[in-house]
Chains A and B, each alone.
Chain A
């Protein structure tokens, strides 16, 4: 059975290999800090496997995460001058390879699609080939590895260090922003453990108007969006808002259609995800990947759609769920 842990190890190994390259990269003004950051992050990916199956304590990993926060937060990381091709060379290479360049890039989605539709149904000796519940991660992981193989074959590239160097350039350009999504998941867990959710639920209940259907629907949807903005994740907001307004008021008291209210309520939460820097993997990481000067560029592009969709979701529940 192919497990998702294998791909976490692969990511960890790639980070650690790149860290080794970084140590000797004299073009990077902060090479030791940069190498420690990525090396430690890679090691954390391995150690985490034993934390998830509870064979090793989680506290040392917590300390390591704090060290990563300090390395990135106090500017101990930087980037070197990547050994790569220039604009002119690339134009020439593009002319030489032509549309063949798209073959490896499209290998990722094709393999991911095959994994999701075909391979996920395969069984060997009664056991599924792909670990249950991890099909999407596995599809992406297998797709990326396959694409690398296809890419090196199509481009007649024999040296493994070339893609490693090129990937490192992208990694260094993104810098610590790559760690942010996971840190925000950590913050969400702390919020949960400290009882932030329960408090927000109480505040919402206190301002709930009596018997006003439109106001109650609006409070549910806006509450989902606002709480999602705070937590960075609609999944964290959903149980709180459902317990405070969705179930007791909209569904039980006002006899609403549960499937409609809850499904559309979740989408109202997604409107919050579109505008919050807390959802770093959707909003901040793309800005880093595209090397935008304005870290909030994608959020600005999404905000008007998010606002209009919030209104849409309120109206959809109001008109169709009762």
Chain B
């Protein structure tokens, strides 16, 4: 039971908002020691699992080209493009459309064609923001609203990926299930059956998250009204927010 104290370190660390690197480092060493690993074994585990998890950092390879495109105006062009679609394409509707595309492409095995670095930051988030800015008449969004729109752009990408990818039979999680169950429990499961059973959840996820995104439009509307009221009282404060905080 005592190894569960390591879990407690993580929870407390994240709850008190300590630097996550330190939380993870301390929790890792503490759990290892509590679980009776020797210091050398802990170091070895640190090294081996770092080496085998490099694929989660591979997205960094897209940063130079994304940076190059951004300094040449990709985000601005993304905004211009969304402007051409007219008022019908609200932030919520745009993100719902993206949710659908992300789910369908992930379901046919194309998980890496989009993601926070390659699509959300350079295109999806600026487009979602521009769709909201149409309601402020082009004025920069209040910080709270901008953060919310960007958070939802990131969230939509993740939800779409998670509840799309399992419908594809060669994805890691499906292969993990068949690999584990077929070797441990002396049975035979086909990846195809597992992938088919992921479809009902995928449909539910589209309606639940899509429904929330469509409601997001109304929430943003309300928040803009309150923010506008506050801004007319203290105009200078409101404009003090730099519109291009994401543009460096």
Q: Digitize A251-282: 1 where CB-to-B-CB distance is under 8 Å, 0 elsewhere.
A: 00000001110111011001001100110111
Contacts of B14 in A (CB 8 A): 277-278
Query: Considering only CB atoms, which chain B residue lies closest to A177 in the complex?
Result: B20
Q: Which residue of B lies closest to A44 (CB)?
A: B50
Secondary structure of the A contact surface, majority rule: helix
B residues contacting the other copy or chain, number (CB 8 A): 123
B172 neighbours in A (Cβ, 8 Å): 235
Query: For residue B180, which residue of chain A has the nearest CB?
Result: A239
Is A2 engaged at the interface, CB distance under 8 Å to the other chain? no
Q: How many residues of chain A have a CB within 8 Å of chain B?
A: 150
* A169-193 Cβ-contact flags toward B at 8 Å (1 or 0): 1110100111111111111111101
Output the least CB separation between B193 and chain A (Å). Answer: 4
- Cβ of A306 to closest chain B Cβ, rounded Å: 8
Contacts A73-B19, A162-B68 given; does A293 touch B147 at CB 8 Å: yes
A35 in contact (CB, < 8 A): no
Known pairs A69-B21, A94-B76; A137 contacts B55 (CB<8 A): yes
The answer to whether A267 and B51 have CB atoms under 8 Å apart is no
Scan B134-171; emit 1 where CB is below 8 A from any A CB, else 0. 00000000010001101111110111001100100000
Separation of A147 and B173 alpha carbons in the complex (Å) = 29
Contact call A136/B111, Cβ cutoff below 8 A: yes
Given A190-B42, A194-B34, A289-B117, does the pair A94, B77 have CB atoms closer than 8 Å? Answer: yes
Are A155 and B28 in contact (CB-based, < 8 A)? Answer: no
Task: Give 1 or 0 for each of B194-234: 1 = CB within 8 Å of chain A CB.
Answer: 11111011001100110010000000000000000000000
**A residues less than 8 Å from B117 (CB atoms):** 289
A194 touches B81 (CB 8 A): no
Bound-state CA distance A164–B150 (Å) is 26
Which residues of B sit under 8 angstroms from A173, Cβ to Cβ?
A: 248
Chain B residues with Cβ below 8 Å from A235 are 172-173, 176
Contact in complex: A93, B73 (CB < 8 Å): yes
- Contact present for A72 and B120 (CB under 8 Å): no
In the complex the two chains form, is A187's CB within 8 Å of B40's CB?
Answer: no
CB-based contact B198/A104 at 8 Å: no
Partner of B58, one of A141, A169, A184, A190: A141
Q: Which residue of chain A lies nearest to B204 when distances are taken between CB atoms in the complex?
A: A312
Q: Is the CB of A69 within 8 A of B54?
A: no
CB pair B61–A98 under 8 Å, yes or no, is no
Distance, CA A319 to CA B77, complexed state (A): 48
CB-CB nearest in chain A for B74: A101
- Contact (Cβ within 8 A) B40 A263: no
Chain A residues with CB under 8 Å of B80's CB are 94
**In the bound complex, do residue B155 and residue A298 qualify as a contact, i.e. CB atoms below 8 Å apart?**
yes
Q: What 1/0 mask marks residues of chain A from 286 to 319 whose CB sits below 8 Å from any chain B CB?
A: 1101111110011011101100110011001000
Which A residues touch B36, using CB under 8 A?
194
**Contact between B245 and A108, CB atoms less than 8 A apart:** no
Q: Is the CB of A305 within 8 A of B208?
A: yes
Q: Which residues of B contact A259 (CB under 8 A)?
A: 189-190, 193-194, 196-197
Distance in angstroms between the alpha carbons of A64 and B25 in the assembled complex: 12
A8 shortest CB reach to chain B, Å: 5
Task: Among A49, A63, A182, point to the contact of B43 (Cβ < 8 A).
Answer: A63
**Distance in Å: Cβ of B61 to nearest Cβ of chain A:** 5
B87 interfacial contact with A, CB 8 Å: no
User: What separation, in Å, do the CA atoms of A202 and B25 have in the docked complex?
Assistant: 26
Query: Is residue A51 within 8 Å, beta carbon to beta carbon, of the partner chain?
Result: yes
B70 adjacent to A166 (CB under 8 Å): yes
Known: A112-B112, A262-B189. A155 touches B68 (CB 8 A): yes
Question: Nearest Cβ in chain B — how far from A140, in angstroms?
Answer: 4
Report whether B71 and A85 are in contact in the complex, using a CB–CB cutoff of 8 Å.
yes
Q: Does B37 contact A (CB under 8 A)?
A: yes
- B67 adjacent to A309 (CB under 8 Å): no
Residues of B within 8 A of A62 (CB): 42-47, 50
Instruction: Flag if B48 contacts A242 (CB, 8 Å).
Output: no
- A137 to B155 alpha-carbon distance, docked (Å): 22
Q: Is the beta-carbon distance between B113 and A113 smaller than 8 angstroms? A: yes
User: How many angstroms between the C-alpha atoms of A176 and B166 in the bound complex?
Assistant: 30
- Extra contacts, 16 of them, besides A290-B125, A298-B154 (Cβ < 8 A), are A66-B43, A75-B19, A99-B81, A105-B66, A136-B111, A144-B62, A170-B63, A183-B21, A193-B35, A193-B37, A193-B45, A266-B177, A274-B162, A292-B151, A293-B147, A297-B151
Task: Offer 25 A-B interface pairs, CB within 8 angstroms, sorted by A.
Answer: A4-B55, A8-B58, A49-B51, A57-B47, A62-B43, A66-B46, A73-B19, A85-B71, A90-B70, A94-B73, A108-B118, A137-B55, A151-B65, A151-B68, A167-B66, A180-B20, A182-B53, A190-B42, A196-B4, A263-B166, A264-B200, A297-B154, A298-B154, A298-B155, A313-B201
